[in-house]
Chains A and B, each alone.
Chain A
Amino acid sequence: MTTPTLDEVAQALSQMVADKMDIDVASIKADSSLQSLGLDSLDTFDLIFSAEDHFKIKVPNDQIKIETLHDVSVLVHKLTIEQNK
């Protein structure tokens, strides 16, 4: 699998958030806080779960320190590089 770019990760995550929260993907900005998008802690776990499935990665519990969608994108992008070597 080709490692996705940060931009590709961000786009895929935005689409996941849009699908889960029933919101327009165009309304989601990279630096949006997850809270402002309506995600609570459970929704965030669910988003991480979907990202793990989609990108074939495993997010360690101690790395889930995220506030914005951008934080998630950076974390997921980093793990795709580390875990797809």
Chain B
Amino acid sequence: MSIILNRRRVVITGLSVVSPLGNTIADLTQNIFSGVSGIKLLDADFVDKLDCKIAAQAHFDPADHFSKHTYGMLDRTSQMALQTSIEAIKDANLEITDQLKPRMGVYLGTGMGGANSVEEAYIRLYRDNASRLKPFTVLMGMNNAAAAAIGLEHQLTGPNLTFSTACSSSSVAIGEASRQIRHGYADVMLAGGSESLLTFGTIKAWEALRTLAEQDVNDLTSSCKPFSADRTGMVLGEGAAMMVLESYEHAIARGATIYAEILGYGSASDSAHITKPSIDGQAITIQTAILDADIPSEAIQYINAHGTGTMLNDVTESNAIKKAFGDHAYNLSISSTKSMHGHLMGATGALEAIITTLAVYNNKLPPTINLSNPDPECDLDYVPNVAKTLPRLNYAMSNSFAFGGTGASLVFKKIN
């Protein structure tokens, strides 16, 4: 029997975020459709030593959610991931029975894992000349720490994998998780991403790549300007985003509320350059997802773009969309919500997948804010500055591309 014949439908029944636009789905919904920016002056004691002093921070205090014993052995990345896993399960109204545990897994994306813990350890070692490090250093720094913490918390014994493909990590995690359910290896998956890399060392490393946005002197919150002629780069963000995915049958049997269906997933590689995106690679990623969804490309009405706000990405992505969709590219609506929540790196795909899900659920398209000076090379409809409401949003896509070249596109469908 072919894999296609074995195909089960995969639906989204739980959502949760810790994000620069709020830590509840209600706040996120309100903010993304109102065009609110979460970009501000970075609240950190080293901010004066930075060239780029802005970031999209999440307002998250682990002490509000966990005991000191619990959060003390987790990096901020894991703390945020764990919190979103708990809230996503609550949102899904899902009871994790002993029967379900081996059929439920965790797929998580993160770019730099426990970056805070690793940097703190190096500070102790190299700056303070410490002769030894804390016993939890390895366990806090390892890339799979967050997924492991989630599995332990909910006692899930299904598959538990961490995906690290830079900026596309959590889109890959969601796509691969959907395949676990689709092909019968799991009934329910927690899928998402988490990232907290607003450390001195990491920001300095990003500054050196010359991809970070210059501060808008008139309004710091408007510094990220995807698809605008005066865009200057991306703004780093942090947060976590988690979905509960389950088979359609499982969701219906327990009477779950369904936000949307994950209809397709495609992943492809640029294999062209470590940082420079390729039109072909991105177009293949998009086309692969549409093939997987088994719908005509003209069915797609909205794309949540990768839209980083760098000169190169936004033109390349626009051209890739034209290549993948042909004339339909001009009928689509596209937005970069990074203009509001910044670039959450390994968590950004999951946050944008949730935003795309909310778009489908609400028949509403979030805007690209700070788009007042259109770039002639970016000549598609980017939903400038103000959200748009559609009579019905049936099919939407979320794109993620990455340093290293791994792209991922997800196709979402409204549930009838």
Residues of A within 8 A of B (CB): 19-22, 38, 42-43, 45-46, 49
Contact = CB atoms under 8 A, between A and B. Distances in A.
Interface in B136-150: 136, 139
B135 A22 contact: no
Given A49-B134, A49-B135, A42 B73 contact: yes
Contacts of A21: 69
Contact of B67 (A22, A42, A45, A46): A22
Interface of B: 67-69, 72-73, 132, 134-136, 139
Contacts of B67: 22
Give the dominant DSSP class at B's interface: loop
A43 B69 CA distance: 9
B135 A42 contact: yes
B135 A20 contact: no
B134 A20 contact: no
A46 B68 contact: no
Contacts of A19: 68
A53 B67 CA distance: 23
A82 to B, nearest CB: 19
A45 B384 CA distance: 55
Give the dominant DSSP class at A's interface: helix
A76 to B, nearest CB: 16
A20 B68 contact: yes
Contacts of B135: 42, 45-46, 49
Contacts of B132: 49
Contacts of B139: 42
A38 B69 contact: yes
A22 B69 contact: yes
B151 to A, nearest CB: 17
Smallest CB-CB A-B distances: 3 pairs:
A45-B135, A22-B67, A22-B68
A42 B72 CA distance: 12
15 contacts: A19-B68, A20-B68, A22-B67, A22-B69, A38-B69, A42-B73, A42-B136, A42-B139, A43-B69, A46-B73, A46-B134, A46-B135, A46-B136, A49-B132, A49-B134
B183 to A, nearest CB: 36
B292 to A, nearest CB: 42
A27 to B, nearest CB: 15
Contacts of A43: 69
B136 A20 contact: no
B153 to A, nearest CB: 15
